[in-house]
Amino acid sequence: MKLKTKNNLQLGLLIFSVLVLDQLTKFIAVKFFEISCNRGGAFGISGNFAVISILVLIVVLWLFLKEKNRLNLVALSLVFSGGFSNLIDRFTVGCVRDFVDFKVFPSFNLADTAITVGAILIFYNLIFANKDEA
């Protein structure tokens, strides 16, 4: 079953919006707020994650192309766009720019939020959604 063009446009707009909003908020944060430069992975895990990020994005894109469930498509769009935006940072700035800091856990950005919300939606759908829905 192919998705309708309208659905594809909506998912494309979601991906584009997250990318643009994340990069815009990072641009503004650099000018007006204190930012941290995360050279590691999620939640401040240390290491060089550019190659791992690329591999994960390829897997997410592959899953996206095979997926039929609407909620999972939205979730994968969020994960892909957030991951891609952070990858842009890794290649253009040398690190992921984080600026939201509640002092309770590592600082983060809009892309990290999109990835987290996408992952939560995927787990929600795996646990609670009707498997017959597409």
Please, are residues 87 and 51 in contact by the beta-carbon 8 Å criterion? no
Scan for tokens 């939560």, then name that residue: 120
Query: Any catalytic annotation for residue 98?
Result: yes
Task: Tokens for 75, please give them.
Answer: 């979730």
Distances (CA, A) of 62 to 5, 45, 57, 85: 19, 26, 8, 18
Selected catalytic residue, list 22, 101, 112, 132: 112
Selected catalytic residue, list 89, 98, 101, 132: 98
> Which H helix or E strand runs over 99?
none
Query: Any catalytic annotation for residue 112?
Result: yes
* Active site members: 98, 112
